[in-house]
Amino acid sequence: MADYRTIKAEVLTSVVRAIVKAGGSSDREAELVSANLVEANLRGHDSHGVGMIPRYVQSVTNGGLAVNQHVKIVLDTGPLLTLDGLTGYGQVIGHEAMELAAERAKSNGVCLVGLSNAHHIGRIGHWAEQCIDHGLVSIHFVNVISRPIVAPWGGSDARHGTNPFCVGIPRRGKEPIVLDFATSRIAQGKTRVAHNKGVELEPGTIIDNEGKPTVNPRYTVIPPYGAILPFGEHKGSGLALVCEILGGALSGGQVVKGPSDGKYNVLNGMLSIIIDPGKLGTGENLAREVESFVAWHTGSPPGPGVDKVKIAGEPERETKKKRLAEGIPVDPTTWQEILEAGQKFGLDQAAIEKIVG
């Protein structure tokens, strides 16, 4: 097991902000990217956190990620938005897309937005939470244009990405419901984290390059590649198929058509449906009925080894509270990769260590 260094959230944010700025990004872009990545770490999703910075730096270097881009409106009818991310930082493109969509939803009651060609948009729950802050319900279907990493149910090699699905539901005066998961057994980044830590994966999570079961995460990180299995067998695989088509094709973007080009770029497409419960005329009903069901749902007697029944989003909030107090654990391999990424942008190790203090 790797040793860790624990870094306070605000310090880690400063490190990431400095690296992104060194890559040519504006202050605003560096702020959005760093805040988004550290928030993923705070919520326990290290796969979508600061460990992505080395991949971002590589993508900027090879031209797959364009700095200082803003979302381009391709079509705007009010309730319908088609947007192009122009391969810009997904943290900026996603934020701008959801602000536009929230504005349209509050005016029209609903907004269906197709977003294509955004560089890695990170933890999808972040965008659901942004809509929740506006009092809106949102549903998100996402695809991934990169090296295929997930096998279809019954298949023996990788054919698509982790293709997340997410739903956000606000609650009055209480913490919201945020359902956010990859359609694979495990997020791709979690296999990278496991590899960096030197730990095995749970049995039944991945297959090797010959399609055989394995617990060694290297088969999703370094060649020869295997594949992550879909969650829920044929059900998860079916949802991944839908996310690929809705998030990739209906959004106006691309779908996976073959093997990777060998570059480390990650593009996302996302189809989002944003709903204003008040405009739908069901706001009061939603507020009342949500609480009725949450009480019934969480009132189930806990099973063996479980302290209480939780709602979607609750474990992440508990982790955030703990990590805000104690700091964010970063394993040595990930930290070294972050230092090397900074060096590629001309920010030497001494400069980064000075920020950490």
pLDDT digits (tens, 9 = 90+) for 304-320: 999 999 999 999 999 99
- For residue 47, the 8-state DSSP code is G
Q: Residue 224, preceding bond cis, omega within 30 degrees?
A: yes
C-alpha distances (whole Å) from 82 to each of 72, 100, 104, 145, 162 are 9, 11, 12, 18, 23
Of 154-158, 296-300, 315-319, 331-335, minimum mean pLDDT range: 331-335
As given in the structure block, the two tokens for residue 77 are 């009818």
- The alpha carbon dihedral of 201, 206, 208, 213 has a sign of positive
The answer, yes or no, to whether residue 262 has pLDDT greater than 80, is no
Report the Cα 147 to chain-centroid distance in Å: 16
Closest alpha carbon to 113 in 277, 276, 269, 273: 273
Taking the CA atoms of the chain, what radius of gyration do you get in angstroms? 20
pLDDT digits (tens, 9 = 90+) for 25-45: 999 999 999 999 999 999 999
The amino acid sitting at 36 is: N
What structural domains does the chain harbor? 1-62+327-356 (1.10.1530.10), 75-184+230-313 (3.30.1370.60)
The mean per-residue pLDDT over the stretch 143-167 comes to: 96
- Which residues lie below 8 Å from residue 120, measured CB to CB, with a gap of 6+? 52, 55, 56, 90, 266, 267, 268
**CA–CA separation, 37 and 39 (whole Å):** 5
pLDDT digits (tens, 9 = 90+) for 333-353: 999 999 999 999 999 999 999
